[in-house]
Amino acid sequence: MTVDFHDYWEGSKKLIDGALDEYLPLESETPEVIHQAMRYALFPGGKRLRPILTLAAAEAVGDDSRAVLPTACALELIHAYSLIHDDLPALDDDDYRRGKFSTHKAFGEDIAVLAGDALLTLAFGLISKTGEREEIKGSLVLLVIGEVARSVGTAGMIGGQVDDLKSEGKEVPLAQLESIHHRKTGALLELCLKAGAILGGGTQEEIESLSRYGRDIGLAFQIGDDILDVKEEKKGKASYPALLGLEESKRKVSELIKRAKGELACCKDGEGILGKIADLVFRRSLEYNAGNP
């Protein structure tokens, strides 16, 4: 029996939203304002792509993904923390996020800084709790914590953000742009796959293949963002379409998605979900045409 992709996504999203609600301190817990800000940044969320990728990777290499849920949610917390800090006036200075005020506009800059800090802190705490489950070895959890620190630290996500900030208004060669995209967006997506595969009990080969899949769809996702977000060019920011042209950018997305799907031969790919997520990332980058015929 094949699970319908839309049903799978909605079911997973519900599971993740319920777990996030359980893991986050209540708004009524003191100090209320910081917990309100943390929840404001997380609910209602986006597509929950990162935790869904984590769960799907665990399913692709094992039978049960439930034990991976705290880690999947932790990676969503890290995504949320990075958006709060990126939106700050001193960084990208964005007043809006997902159709509402960004966290610092709603709660003040002081609370936004601390809410980001708190989400990052809570994320590591959550992952450590995974070790309390008998079916997952503590050594694997420690391995994942090390991978998280590396992927979202200065060698990964934070480093990408630094180079992105520093390259604004400058000419950026393609290799540098790809490196920024890989670190700023791709590193966290790759981490989701890797963490899910490790905790799901994957073999070394499975872990590596799924990580490469994550790396490729991560870059494809970001090029898709570039294609969708033509405004970026106006802000003097480098983008794939600006450097390569629109058609060549789409060709690159197509190539990355094909390669990513090739990596899935390694695993049983739970219900073909990872293949369908790759297709989704591909179709997303074509939406540009749909809206601009």
Among positions 21-80, residues that touch a copy of itself (CB under 8 A) are 25, 29-31, 33-35, 38
Which class for 156: exposed (0-12), middle (13-18), buried (19 or more C-beta within 10 A)? Answer: buried
Q: Which is nearer to a copy of itself, 150 or 258 (CB)?
A: 150
End-to-end CA gap in the chain:
38
What is the token pair recorded at 55? Answer: 């769960």
Q: Tokens 């999947």 correspond to what residue?
A: 72
Q: Taking CB under 8 A as the rule, does residue 128 contact a copy of itself?
A: yes
Q: E strand or H helix at 97, and its extent?
A: strand 96-97
Candidates 106, 158, 243, 280; binder of a copy of itself (CB under 8 A) is: 158
CB-neighbour burial class of residue 13 (10 A; exposed 0-12, middle 13-18, buried 19+): middle
Q: How many residues bind a copy of itself (CB under 8 A)?
A: 55
In the shown chain, the binding pattern of residues 97 to 126 toward a copy of itself, with x for contact by CB under 8 A and - for none, equals -----------xxxx-xx-xxx-xxx-xxx
Shortest Cβ 125–a copy of itself spacing (Å): 3
R_g of the chain, CA atoms, integer Å: 19
| Residue 100, CA distances (Å) to 41, 69, 94, 189, 272 in order | 10, 28, 11, 25, 34
By CB under 8 A, name the one of 28, 139, 204, 292 that touches a copy of itself.
Answer: 139
Taking CB under 8 A as the rule, does residue 18 contact a copy of itself? no
Which residues of this chain interact with a copy of itself, rule CB under 8 A?
25, 29-31, 33-35, 38, 81, 85, 88, 90-91, 108-111, 113-114, 116-118, 120-122, 124-129, 131-132, 137-139, 141-143, 145-146, 148-150, 152-155, 158-159, 161-163, 165-166
